[in-house]
Structures are given as C-alpha cells and as structure tokens.
Amino acid sequence: MRTVTAPSRIHPASPPARPAGPDRPVRPDRPVRPDRPMRPTGPDRLARCIGAMPAAPFRVFALLWLVLLALPVHAAAVSVPPQPETSLAAPRAVVALSVAPPAPAALAVPDDLPLGELRLPPGFTVELYARVPNARQMALGTRTLFVGSLRAGMVHALPLDDTLRPLRVLRLAEGLTLPAGVAFHEGALYVSAVSRLLRYDRVEEWAHARADATQPPETAAPPPRPAIVRADLPSETHHGAKVLGFGPDGMLYVPVGAPCNICRTGPRHGVILRMRPDGTGEEVFARGVRNTMGFDWHPETRELWFTDNGRDWLGDDLPPDELNHAPVAGLDFGFPYCHGGTIADPEYGDLGACAAATPPARNLGPHVASLGMIFYTGRQFPAAYRGQVFIAEHGSWNRSTRIGYRVTLVRLEGGRAVSYEPFAEGWLRGGGPWGRPAALLMLPDGSLLVADDYAGAIYRIRYAGR
C-alpha cells in the first residue's frame, strides 16, 4: 500500500436521485378520480401508440426499433455486478476484495487522498488504512476494529487479519442518533446514542463470519440485536454525542456535555459520569466540563486525563481548549464560570471564582476543537514518545484564521505537562481542510490510527526509522 498518493479534491456525496415514473410516490393531496381513467405510462403507452399506426409495415418497423433500443439497456443491466458491502466505505471507487485460502486477504484501500501533504517527524510514515464514513471514536476488540460516527448514524466493524489489516468494512448498525462513542468490554461492544447506551454481544463472531468472502451473501447472519443498557441519559443533541471508555476500575465512563455554548448547567450536564457495565451505580466523577470528546488513563498512575473544548464567541484567541487531569473523583473544572484556569466568564463569572476550579494541566490552542486523546504505550515509536499524550485536533469552525486540523503531542515530565507541539499536520490546505482528525487508537503493534470524520478515512502512522 502506497504511503503517498496524488492529490485529489474531496467532494461531498451526491444526493440520491429522485425516483421517476411509476416509482415516484403519488401525492396524497392529488387523489386519483374514479371517473377518470389513469393515463397509460411506459410500455403500455408505447404499445397503444404502435397499435394506432395506420399500416402494418409501420407497426413492424416500430416494433423492431423498440427491440433494438431495449437490447443495449438490457445488456448493460445484466453486466453490472452487485456492489460489495465495502463500497459503503469507499463511495468514490469500487473496493477490491481478494480472498486466498485459508484466510481472506486484507482489504485493498484506494489511495485517493493527498497523503503526500501530511507532515510528520523524521522516520514516521502514514498510509490510508480504511475508508469509513464519518469515522469517529474507535474501539479494538480481540480481532476487530469498531468505529462510531456522528451525523452518519452508523457503527462499522472491521474484522482484522493477522497483520492487523482490515478484511472488510461491515455496517453493524444504522439509523442511530449520534453514535459517536464505542467501547469494547468483555466480549461486547458498547455504543452511545445520545440518551441510550447499547450493548452488542457476540459481535466479533458475527464480524469474522462476514469477513469470509467465500460465504454466499444469502447465508450471512444479520448483525446481532443490541441490548439496551440505559435509555435515560440526557437527550439534548447539542454536545449530545458521548464518547465511551472503561477505566482501570472496570467502570464505564460517559461524559455528558453542556447543551449550549455557555449556560448554567443542571446536575447531569457538563459532567463525566461513571457507572457499572450494566448501567447501574451512576455517579458524577467530574463536573465543570463543557464538552469532552476524548479521555484516557495514565499507564502508570491510572489517573484520568481528558480534553475539553472551550466556549465560543470571546474572540479568536479566547478561551483556550484544555487538557485536564483528574486524579480523584469530585473535582470541578470551572465551566461555565472559568476558562483556561484564569479567565472569568463575562456572563457567568459570578457563579464561582477561578481560584476554586481545578486548573488545566495544559492550555491548548484556542478553538482547535481538541477531541480524541490517548497515552502512547507502545514500543514501535521511539522511547521518547512512550507515556506521552497524543491529541486529535478537529479544527476551528468560527475563527477568522483557521487553526487545528492536526494531531498534537503533549509531553509529560513528573506528571506535569511541559510542552505542546504538532506531531502530524497538513490536513489544512489554503483556506480550508481536506481532512479533520477526530479520534485516535493504538494498535497492538504500536502503530497509531487516526480517524477522520470529514474525509471518511482512517490513517495508520508507523515509525520506520532507526
């Protein structure tokens, strides 16, 4: 698989074509009158026209002409093969899937994104790993990668081969509301959908059975039906997408964002909740959190760290996004009255003093939209990266000069964040982006996956230096 490809411009998918002719639904405000016969359409209308011709030779000529016109259409229709399910993940090209006994071959991914524009430190390479629509949070099972989405409303499963490459891109669920969060725990996949938490059992067995391309499609089992773990979480869709994660304590952590840009929040908004895997025992772990879309636990201290997105409309450079550290439960991180540790909110600053809030471990760029974050614990990257924080910056949306659209690195020393620097950048081209990093995940071999919901892609970053 090439790591650098020719640049190409990304276009949004075309809207579905409007049905025509007899497939177009009848408008309910125009009922068919019983005293008026329906006008013939299609073949019936053509047959009446032929029958009305005055002489037999003309009728024969018309029938022959009709047959000649129909032959190419029929031949073209027969020659088009059924589209593979993997075409959902790569709408601009047909994805080739080759199978070699005894195991299916890895999915061939078309290189149609300008990866050559991405910049990384010396020795690192990046490749296109998979095409997944609107890819957001990722979770790794035993041999399967699961990917949530936001507006697409879908969850995908990517069964992996022995080299950790995806065999297929399978649609596990669709029609969900903001299913951005996915987490794998004890053989089951947990999915967030605003007010609901769903659990898919035996999902890896289904995914790997579907990965066998030699299996006839009609014999493939449907996706497993989910069990409803919770259906009573806050239902607002503004900051309503919820990422998921299981902590070292075995509890499921579920952030609930503030349902606003800036407002006084209720007891279950602007918080990080935690609960047992069955949904019971809910408690507030942290509060004063505007909208976190990424968190992880330090590999040694096992303490929680998380990103938080700052409020809007205080100017281009205020306030900063935050990287926060929550060593214990019960801390307040200042929203809505304080931002960045020292900036009193002009509207809600009277609700509390910045001195009473837990300050950020590190202020990040203003409006960079810091989303997914992980601690790097692998051994493929140089030792200097071990135990450090990677952050996916989705990029600003209302700043006069765009910022973000990159993966950054926060270095820690003695439990303190001491530096903040770009690691992978180049998704911003001129005045606009061609991609937007949204989530991160480390594969067992130590390579780093980056989910891009804008380009519908997942990239794989590896170290190839010495």
Q: Is 339 exposed, middle or buried (0-12, 13-18, 19+ CB in 10 A)?
A: buried
User: pLDDT of the chain along its 466 residues, tens only?
Assistant: 444 433 333 333 333 333 333 333 333 333 333 333 333 444 444 444 444 444 444 444 444 444 333 433 333 332 222 223 543 333 333 232 223 333 445 656 556 899 999 999 999 999 999 999 999 999 999 999 999 999 999 999 999 999 999 999 999 999 999 999 999 999 999 999 999 999 999 999 999 999 986 777 667 789 999 999 999 999 999 999 999 999 999 999 999 999 999 999 999 999 999 999 999 999 999 999 999 999 999 999 999 999 999 999 999 999 999 999 999 999 999 999 999 999 999 999 999 899 999 999 999 999 999 999 999 999 999 999 999 999 999 999 999 999 999 999 999 999 999 999 999 999 999 879 999 999 999 999 999 999 999 999 999 999 998 7
Instruction: Tell me if 47 is assigned to some domain.
Output: no
Positive/negative CA dihedral, 213, 216, 217, 220? negative
Q: Is residue 84 part of a domain?
A: no
Give dist(CA 433, CA 427) in Å, integer.
6
In a domain, 80, yes or no: no
2 is a domain residue: no
Tokens of 27: 């408008």
303 within a domain of the structure (yes/no):
yes
The CATH number of residue 186's host domain is 2.120.10.30
Residues 320 and 385: their CA atoms lie apart, in Å, by 24
pLDDT of residue 218: 66
Dihedral angle at the C-alpha atoms of 122, 459, 135, 203, nearest 10 degrees? -130
- The closest of 134, 258, 133, 244 to 197, measured between CA atoms, is 244
**What is the residue-wise DSSP string for 215-242?**
S-GGGPPPPPPPEEEES-S----TT---
pTM metric for this prediction: 0.78
Inside any domain, residue 64: no
Task: Report the number of distinct structural domains present in the chain.
Answer: 1
Residue 43 contacts residue 63 (beta carbons within 8 Å): no
Contact between residue 291 and residue 242 where contact means Cβ atoms under 8 Å apart = no
Residues 6+ apart with CB under 8 A from 79: none
Structural domain boundaries enclosing 173: 109-463
- Write out the H or E segment, with its range, that includes residue 70: helix 56-79
| 195 part of a folded domain | yes
Q: What is the token pair recorded at 382?
A: 């140089």
* Res 465: pLDDT: 86
Residue 25 maps to a domain: no
CB within 8 Å of 312: residues ≥ 6 apart: 261, 367, 398
Q: What is the pLDDT of residue 200?
A: 99
- Tell me the per-residue pLDDT of 370-404, one tens digit each, with 9 for 90 and over: 999 999 999 999 999 999 999 999 999 999 999 99
Distance between CA 133 and CA 173 in Å, rounded? 13
Question: Which phi-psi region, left, alpha or beta, contains residue 180 (left: φ > 0; alpha: ψ -120 to 50)?
Answer: alpha
Q: At what angle do helices 56-79 and 42-51 cross, to 10 degrees?
A: 160
pLDDT at 290: 99
CA angle 436, 441, 443 (to 5 degrees): 135
